Amino acid sequence: MADSPALKPVYLITGNDRPKVETAVARLRRHFAAEAIERVMAQEASGADVVALCNSGSLFGDDRLVIVEGIDGRPGSDGRLTNAWKAAEVAAVVAYLADPAPYTVLALVGEETKKDGALRKAVEKAGQVLEYAVLKRGRVSWVGQRFKSHGLRAEPEACALLVQLVGEDDLHGLASEIDKIALWAQGEPVGEREILELVAPVAGTPVFELTDGWGERDAARVLSASETIFERDEKPRRDSAPRLAGALGNYLGRMRQLKRLAGQGVSARESAGRLKMNPYYAQKVAGHADNFSDEELDDATVRLAELDLALKGGSRLAPDLELQRALIDTSRDRP
């Protein structure tokens, strides 16, 4: 193209790092006049429709950009992608890419495009694949890198806390919070205190407050956290109690695993690799495990089993009261 010689005829922009995907699309858009850009959804335009758009040209002879979003589907209420392009739609675009229009750039935008799919192979041959993906285990590092791009140093614990508060799947929300914190911090380091003061928990309810208080054997904090969760949760207390009991059981299981490995001389960081845990999270859980003896962890396991029976109809007490009784029994120091 006359004014943009570096541009390829087609780009596949994909990955779950939506902020970076959108940045890549925005960079492409800057090469074109606003009236020379066509944007359609794959759920509303067939492969043949997209090919027709690419071949239609411009009334003014300008270079054109055709953006097709959602080629691998749109997320439903459960977060799963549905209504992706079918084989016929893909085949039409693959055929077009064998001889693309000379003054049109096609941008195909998705999230989970198949690496061995025909569309990806065609794009690799005719243009370029831009992939921006973040593994779930890499969310904390991703947050740290975004802080670094703002010229800020954020403690790993602060990054992990931000992920807990916002949610590991909401990269948009994380990016927005990082931008806000960076503006406030003015180049100063960011720690857990700053995150707690500046970020409201939106990832459901702050279960980590409950497990942290329990791991630190702070019965007052545990009760306060449980009440906060019950008050914020949209579900009735009777429905929230089993979920919190499950979270506590999972945390107890992690503590027992790390304590057992520590007894074998395995460090928390090494254990994190074995158990596929975030290293900073593993260090925190290991520290909590040190607050309990093996016998106390065994007793806590039995007590949570009793709680499970009570929540399944084995008690006449309210589920939230049964949960709080178990929290006190398992978190308070023994005489």
Mean pLDDT of 268-296: 87
Token look-up 């690496």 returns: 115
Q: Has residue 79 got a pLDDT over 70? A: no
What phi-psi label fits residue 328: left (phi over 0), alpha (psi between -120 and 50 degrees) or beta?
Answer: alpha
Distance between alpha carbon 196 and the CA centroid of its chain, in Å?
19
Work out the burial of residue 267: count CB atoms within 10 Å of its CB; fewer than 13 is exposed, 13-18 middle, 19 or more buried: middle
Separation CA 103–CA 60 (nearest Å):
12
**CATH 3.40.50.300 fits domain 10-131:** yes
Nearest to 85 by CA among 101, 69, 98: 69
Contact 304, 245 (CB under 8 A): yes
Domain 137-198, second-level architecture: Orthogonal Bundle (1.10)
pLDDT at 116: 85
Q: Has residue 28 got a pLDDT over 80? A: yes
* CATH 1.20.272.10, the chain: domain bounds: 207-331
pLDDT digits (tens, 9 = 90+) for 230-244: 887 777 888 888 988
* CATH 3.40.50.300, the chain: domain bounds: 10-131
Distance between alpha carbon 14 and the CA centroid of its chain, in Å?
16
Tally Cβ neighbours within 10 Å of residue 290. Answer: 12
Tokens of 217: 């054997």
Token look-up 């039409």 returns: 92
pLDDT at 204: 52
* CATH 1.10.8.60, the chain: domain bounds: 137-198
Q: Angle, to 10 degrees, between the axis of helix 139-149 and the axis of helix 171-185?
A: 40
E strand or H helix that includes residue 107: strand 104-109
Token look-up 């497990």 returns: 211
pLDDT at 259: 94
Separation CA 251–CA 123 (nearest Å):
45
Contact 10, 97 (CB under 8 A): yes
Least confident of 174-178, 223-227, 277-281: 277-281
pLDDT digits (tens, 9 = 90+) for 108-137: 998 888 888 899 999 999 999 999 888 777
What is the CATH number that goes with domain 207-331?
1.20.272.10
Helix, coil or strand: residue 93: helix
Bridge pairing between strands 10-14 and 37-41: unpaired
In this prediction, residue 290 has a pLDDT band, given cuts at 50, 70 and 90, of very high
Which residues are within 8 A (CB) of 241 and not within 5 positions of it... i.e. 6 or more apart? 311, 319, 320, 322, 323
Separation CA 334–CA 84 (nearest Å):
58
Which residues are within 8 A (CB) of 231 and not within 5 positions of it... i.e. 6 or more apart? none
Separation CA 74–CA 54 (nearest Å):
23
